[in-house]
Amino acid sequence: MINEGMIPLFVAVPLAGAFLAALFKRLGWIPDLLGVLASLFSFCLSLHFILDTAPGASFAVNVGGWGSFPEVMGKVVGIRLVLDGFTVFMLAIVNFVALWVSIYAVGYMKRYTGRWQFYTLFLLMLAGMNGVLITGDMFNMYVFIEIASIASYALVAFGVGKRELEASFKYAVMGGMASLLILLAVVFLYASTGTLNMGDMREILSGTHYSGLVYLVFGLLLTGFGLKAALVPFHAWLPDAHPSAPAPISAMLSGVLIKALGVYTIARIFFDVFGFPHQVSIILLVLAAISMGVGALVALRQWDMKRLLAYSSISQVGYIMLGFGIGTPLGVMGALFHLFNHSMFKSLLFLASGAVEYSTGTRNMKEMGGLNRKMPVTGGTALAGAMSLAGIPPFAGFWSKLVIIVAAVQAHHMKLAAWAALMSIITIVYVFRITRYAFLGELKEKLAGIKEVPLLMRVSLIILALACILGGLVLLPQVRKMFLSPAVRVLIGMGGV
Amino acid sequence: MIELYVLLGLMIAGAVIAVEVKNLLSAVVAVGVVGLGLSVVFLLLKAPDVALTQLVVEIAAVILLIRATLHRDIASKFLGNRPFGAFVAFIFLVLTTYAGVLIFKSGMPPFGEPLMAVSRFYPLNALEGTGAMNVVTSVILDYRAYDTLGEATVLFTAVVGVLTVMRKMGRKKDLQENDE
Amino acid sequence: MSKERERGMSVIVKTVTRLTVGLILLYGVYVVLHGHITPGGGFAGGVIIALSFINLDLAFGKRVSSGILSKEGTGVIEAMGALLFLALALIGMKYGIFFKNFMHPDGEPGELVSAGIIPLENIAIALKVGAGLFGIFLTLIAAQKFEAEKK
Amino acid sequence: MNAYMPYVLCLVLFCIGIFAILSKKNIIKIILGIIIAEYAVNLFLVMVAYKAGGRAAIFSPNRGEILPEVMVDPLPHALVLTSIVIGLATTAFMIALAIRLYGKYGTFDITRMRELRG
């Protein structure tokens, strides 16, 4: 049975989990259980919306029953939640990663104090991301961005060491500034259109010639969301914040948070509300090209495993933005597919680096070596993720990069296509460094006594590795029709192309 | 509307003092002045709910800030600027002001004439639809109650976040990081 | 400093506080309960209630205020307030709509009991905000001892 | 005076805040910058709502009849309430971070916190 009234549960259930975890903090295992159950529930709900509805169906629900009224010419007076193909696609990714990360964390977080705080913040972050995804209201989007952001600042500082606090402060300052810019843009939009609902805003704006004010809004939104997505001129916080967090949180931050808060919002607002104007396309292409280059080249020089992965995230988000910037159906499909793949392999790699740190106590790749012998599961799964990141043919990452490059060629962006291809070669080089120094080679004497990580952590690693290996199947017509194509159609159908 | 300009001028002066003064405690007090000016401006602009909330939140924020700055010997020690950041900030400032002055004429309704395309609905229907005499309350707790849920959650997140960063020890013993 | 934390401020401050703190608390409760009729509401009222406790703590020292409400207590009240608000939203789903104002209409507009669930929501928010802010205050105040242990 | 003058002054306030965030070394000053910029955005919202000659958006039995047509725009007021509380939350969290950072480094100078590079 499908019921659009169930849409608010994506937010309500994780929130209830968070509040209950704070209430029952004394009972040791209750927060863990609540964390896993709430993310399991959201994942099942998103699966339910994918499998049991016609592909491309779109649902809307008015909170409090305040929909459109004739007194204001059919505009929406309350908050409307919208669930369409793109939303479902993102919800499935976010909640899938969250589920396996929460299971992984049951084992991993035994090393830290304050478990209830971890799960409360984790669920708040999940609720914030889900809220951003399902909302159809500009200001509501800002509120949920803030929930997810503040939870992530606190989670980055979870270890309360010098580095964690410093990284968290930088992240909080940058994120706070981004939020202010976004809020300012929302106010400008409200002042000039008189509504906050995205659908109504599109109707009001589509008839008119864009005034200078709208271009100012473009600038503010691109800066704000660019800061959240860590596109290159605005990326300074990411390489500090993502490695400092505990490994499950690094996986969430790099895997899904920057996408839900930065990439999704840019795609949703610029494609869906503004109809993807030409100027934005050019800016996105430029930012994407710089991000790809800087991220990959700096990653080459890193010895800290998590820091390398963080720079790699900047570069890969550049690929996603390249696909969006091209703006053709093929480009958008490549971008969404790469978004899916990046969520899988980057969270897998961060979890694997956490497993390595759990066993060996170090993140410096110079001190590792030959870990495959002692930790076959971690090594094997990390290898799968690394191959997917590098874009070696049978793995999923190859197909998405191929689609993006083909789309760039089709749209006559030859230089960008060549640049993307060159950067994927550099990606292969730094990925090779991870596998070469950490997992292959001679086992260091110091590490002779290490053990494989506990069962729950291994399960998460294996599932995510399977997603990396089998991710290419998303391109099969049957799966694509259900999962990927509706999302593409949402963006293109409304967009300028 | 001359009083509005006087107050705005006072707030800008207070902000400049807060940013540039050497003593931290003076800076916090200057921000308090800006906040109080803000709540009076809210009253002038016919927003009593907002003025009340701003006033009490201002007091709370200043108490917390003074707790953070007071009793620290370096409260009066002056730390300079970051030249690069100041440069970026200066460019941002010039661009935004220029853009703002140019752009307000094209697309913004003038001050004092809101569009009220949607919000025309609320004063006309709030009394019947929700039963609340205070239209702003009817908006925050009925028409847009979902936002308020989010807002309450933000504060909850901040409380848990404060508890999290205030823990003495992040990792369990014998696993402390090297820098500890 | 630590002595002041233990025993509070001078006798003048204590006397004035003793006279005013009840009134501040009462005003906070008034603002919360009349949020749907007059300016104010759960947030403003909740912060005022928290400020009355903070006032007590600053004037009389830690022992008096934590005798009334400890840090643990604020956490419990805060979570309860948040859950109450969420529960009000979820009960609406029984009537088919998230955040349905299911008790409206229930009284003449302008009376204390009117406006459906809005007063209840105000109370939930006030509990949450008041306890949360006081909790933050207590946590940050306890931080004074970090400095002494500085490495 | 120009009909947009209040907006421009508000933008100036915002820019002062952003300037403090980007250029100051002292982390308390950075927090103050965020607070000021936040005030500016809140002020902007309320200015957008103002209607010349309007009344506050509250019906009152004691003060005679208030026509709904002359009320100022209530929606931005609701948004400002939300954004004020969000601002308080952010500020409180950053103050906690500042206290901890002071405990670890013994200074409020952000340029001397150099554990992270790259």
Q: What is the mean pLDDT of residues A319-323?
A: 90
B96 in a structural domain: no
Among D38, D90, D105, beta carbon nearest to A150 = D90
- Chain D CB contacts of C38 under 8 Å are 58
Question: How many structural domains compose chain D?
Answer: 1
pLDDT at C61 over 80: no
Boundaries of domain holding C100: 2-148
For D56, name the nearest residue in chain B, comparing CA atoms only.
B46
**What chains are in contact with A, requiring at least 3 Cβ pairs below 8 Å?**
B, C, D
How far apart, in whole angstroms, are the C-alpha atoms of residue A3 and residue D97?
Answer: 44
D117 in a structural domain: no
pLDDT at C117 over 80: no
Among D41, D48, D97, beta carbon nearest to A157 = D97
Buried b (16+ CB within 10 A) or exposed e, A145-161: bbbbbbbbbbbbbbbbb
**More reliable by pLDDT, A303 or A441:** A303
Q: What is the mean pLDDT of residues A474-497?
A: 73
Q: What is the 3-state secondary structure (H, E, C) of chain C?
A: CHHHHHHCCCHHHHHHHHHHHHHHHHHHHHHHHCCCCCCCCHHHHHHHHHHHHHHHHHHHCHHHHHHHCCHHHHHHHHHHHHHHHHHHHHHHHHCCCCCCCCCCCCCCCCCCCCCCCHHHHHHHHHHHHHHHHHHHHHHHHHCHHHHHCCC
Is B170 in contact with A15 (Cβ distance < 8 A)? no
Q: What SS3 class is residue A364?
A: strand
Please state whether the predicted TM-score (pTM) of the whole model is above 0.80.
yes
Say which range, A317-331, A369-383, A401-415, B61-75, has the weakest mean pLDDT: B61-75
How confident is the model at residue C10, as a pLDDT? Answer: 78
How confident is the model at residue D35, as a pLDDT? Answer: 92
List the one residue out of C134, C97, C103, C140 whose CA is nearest residue C118. Answer: C103
A63 touches chain B (CB under 8 A): yes
Among B8, B27, B122, beta carbon nearest to D32 = B27
How confident is the model at residue C113, as a pLDDT? Answer: 67
Q: What is the mean pLDDT of chain D?
A: 81
Say which range, A262-276, A346-360, A474-488, has the weakest mean pLDDT: A474-488
Among C80, C89, C93, beta carbon nearest to A5 = C93
How confident is the model at residue A129, as a pLDDT? Answer: 92
How far apart, in whole angstroms, are the C-alpha atoms of residue A221 and residue A218?
Answer: 5
Question: How many structural domains compose chain B?
Answer: 2
- The DSSP-derived string for B50-87 is HHHHHHHHHHHHHHHHHHHHTT-GGGG----B-HHHHH
List the one residue out of A1, A58, A64, A36 whose CA is nearest residue A487. Answer: A58
**Tens digits of per-residue pLDDT, A257-273?**
998 888 999 988 888 88
How confident is the model at residue B93, as a pLDDT? Answer: 73
Q: What is the mean pLDDT of residues A312-327?
A: 89
D27 in a structural domain: yes
User: Which one of A76, A121, A177, A305 makes the best mutation probe of the D interface by having the most chain D beta carbons within 10 Å?
Assistant: A177
**More reliable by pLDDT, B1 or C134:** C134
Place A495 in a pLDDT band, splitting at 50, 70 and 90. very low
Contact C66, C137 (CB under 8 A): no
**Tens digits of per-residue pLDDT, A409-463?**
988 888 888 988 898 888 888 888 888 887 777 777 777 777 777 888 888 888 8
pLDDT by residue, tens only, chain B of 180 residues: 788 888 888 989 999 888 888 888 888 889 988 999 999 998 888 888 888 888 888 888 888 888 777 665 555 555 666 777 777 777 777 777 777 666 666 667 777 777 777 777 887 777 777 777 778 888 888 888 888 888 889 989 999 898 888 887 777 765 544 443
Contact D47, B107 (CB under 8 A): no
pLDDT at A497 over 50: no
CATH number, residue D57: 1.10.287.3510
How far apart, in whole angstroms, are the C-alpha atoms of residue B67 and residue A257?
Answer: 33
B65 in a structural domain: yes
How far apart, in whole angstroms, are the C-alpha atoms of residue B108 and residue A422?
Answer: 46
Place A144 in a pLDDT band, splitting at 50, 70 and 90. very high
Residue B171 β-bridge partners: A112
Is D99 in contact with C129 (Cβ distance < 8 A)? no
**What chains are in contact with D, requiring at least 3 Cβ pairs below 8 Å?**
A, B, C
∠ CA A18-A20-A24 to the nearest 5 degrees?
A: 120
How far apart, in whole angstroms, are the C-alpha atoms of residue D42 and residue D19?
Answer: 18
Q: What SS3 class is residue A69?
A: strand
Boundaries of domain holding D15: 5-112
Q: What is the mean pLDDT of chain A?
A: 85
D56 in a structural domain: yes
What is the identity of the amino acid at C68?
A: I
User: Which one of C31, C36, C38, C43 makes the best mutation probe of the D interface by having the most chain D beta carbons within 10 Å?
Assistant: C43
Helices (H), A24-161: 30-51, 85-108, 115-134, 138-156
What is the identity of the amino acid at D71?
A: M
Retrieve residue D110's tokens. 């952000």
How far apart, in whole angstroms, are the C-alpha atoms of residue C40 and residue C31?
Answer: 6
Is D57 in contact with B158 (Cβ distance < 8 A)? no
Question: How many structural domains compose chain C?
Answer: 1
Q: What is the mean pLDDT of residues A208-212?
A: 73
Place A148 in a pLDDT band, splitting at 50, 70 and 90. very high
A191 touches chain D (CB under 8 A): yes
Spacing of C-alpha B70 from chain mean position:
22
D100 in a structural domain: yes
- Chain A CB contacts of B180 under 8 Å are 161-162
C108 touches chain D (CB under 8 A): no
B-C C-beta contacts closer than 8 Å: 144
C91 touches chain A (CB under 8 A): no
How confident is the model at residue A143, as a pLDDT? Answer: 92
C141 touches chain A (CB under 8 A): no
Contact B57, D85 (CB under 8 A): yes
A63 touches chain C (CB under 8 A): yes
D118 in a structural domain: no
pLDDT at A96 over 50: yes
pLDDT at C3 over 70: no
Is C150 in contact with D92 (Cβ distance < 8 A)? no
**Tens digits of per-residue pLDDT, B73-120?**
555 555 666 777 777 777 777 777 777 666 666 667 777 777 777 777
C104 touches chain A (CB under 8 A): no
> Nearest 5°: phi and psi at A197?
-75, 135
pLDDT at D118 over 60: no
How far apart, in whole angstroms, are the C-alpha atoms of residue A318 and residue A231?
Answer: 7
Given CA atoms A85, A91, A94, A97 in this order, what sign does their dihedral have? negative
Boundaries of domain holding B2: 1-77
pLDDT at D116 over 60: no
Say which range, A18-22, A61-65, A216-220, has the weakest mean pLDDT: A61-65
Helices (H), A278-375: 278-299, 305-326, 329-360, 371-374
- Chain C CB contacts of D58 under 8 Å are 38-39
Is C110 in contact with B133 (Cβ distance < 8 A)? yes
Is D115 in contact with B179 (Cβ distance < 8 A)? yes
Residue ending a domain, among B27, B50, B77, is B77
For A162, name the nearest residue in chain D, comparing CA atoms only.
D104
pLDDT at C108 over 70: no
- Chain A CB contacts of D27 under 8 Å are 169
How confident is the model at residue A59, as a pLDDT? Answer: 82
pLDDT at C118 over 60: yes
C100 touches chain A (CB under 8 A): yes
- Chain D CB contacts of B97 under 8 Å are 8, 11-12, 15
Retrieve residue A281's tokens. 């396309």
Is C115 in contact with B132 (Cβ distance < 8 A)? yes
> Nearest 5°: phi and psi at A137?
-130, 135
Residue A304 β-bridge partners: A364
